[in-house]
Structure 1
């Protein structure tokens, strides 16, 4: 890849990353969420019986203190509750409430709108090529930084 193409790739990816995050922040703000909280809540909701903070952190690929801080910021929304783990009094299980489950379709709708706004005008064949290229780039970067493959995002 020559220097001008490398500059174009870097400039485009940097700008797209910033713009995507800003667009996502606007959509999520309408739901009372910040970027990242949507994924956290969605992942939690996949486990009907909830999960511990350490399980959540592992699932998201983040450190446990980061998960704890994120949950603290979400606490006021009434979207989850904490329940003691009977076998380990030091642990709590985070369980999504009915209010949290009712929010999931709105989160998924915001994601669908973002995807459509980003690539909806691109033809199906081109979209498949773009998505494959982006997924390959993500795999390369995950390997570079020592992250395992993503299970959910």
Structure 2
């Protein structure tokens, strides 16, 4: 790549990252959520029996203390409850409540709207090329930073 193309790629990726996060934050704000909380709640809702903080952290590719902090920030919404794990007093399972399950379709709607608005009038072929290119770039960056593939990004 020549210098002008390098600058163009860097500018486009940086700008898209910031704009996407801002747009997502604005849409999630209407649900009482912040970016990242949507993925956490959605992931928890996929497990009817709930999961431990360690399991959740593993699925998200984060450390358990980070998952605990994220849950603490999310707790006020009444979207999940903590249940003791029988036989292990140190562990709790995080189980999504009915209110949390009711929020999941709205989270998915936000994701759908954001994807459609982001891709605009791109054809099926253009979308496939764009998404495949971004997925390949993510894979290369994961290898570069030594990060495992996450459950959802």
User: TM-score category by the smaller chain?
Assistant: over 0.9
Using the size of structure 1 for normalisation, the TM-score is 0.98
- Residue of structure 2 equivalent to 1:146: 146
- C-alpha distance in 2, partners of 1:12/1:120? 16
Structure 2 unpaired stretches of 5+: none
Is the aligned partner of 1:3 residue 2:3? yes
What SS does structure 2 have at the residue aligned with 1:150? Answer: coil
- What is the CA-CA distance between 1:151 and the residue it aligns to? 2.7
Using the size of structure 2 for normalisation, the TM-score is 0.98
- Residue of structure 2 equivalent to 1:58: 58
- What is the CA-CA distance between 1:149 and the residue it aligns to? 2.0
Count of residue pairs the alignment pairs up = 153
- Residue of structure 2 equivalent to 1:27: 27
Runs of 4+ aligned residues of structure 1 deviating over 6 Å after TM superposition are none
- Residue of structure 2 equivalent to 1:115: 115
- What is the CA-CA distance between 1:132 and the residue it aligns to? 0.6
Write out aligned runs for 1:1-150 (5 A).
1-150=1-150
What SS does structure 2 have at the residue aligned with 1:9? Answer: helix
- 1:41-90 CA-to-partner distances (Å, cap 9, x unmatched) read 00111100000000000000001111000000011000000000002100
- 1:101-128 CA-to-partner distances (Å, cap 9, x unmatched) read 0000000000000000000311111111
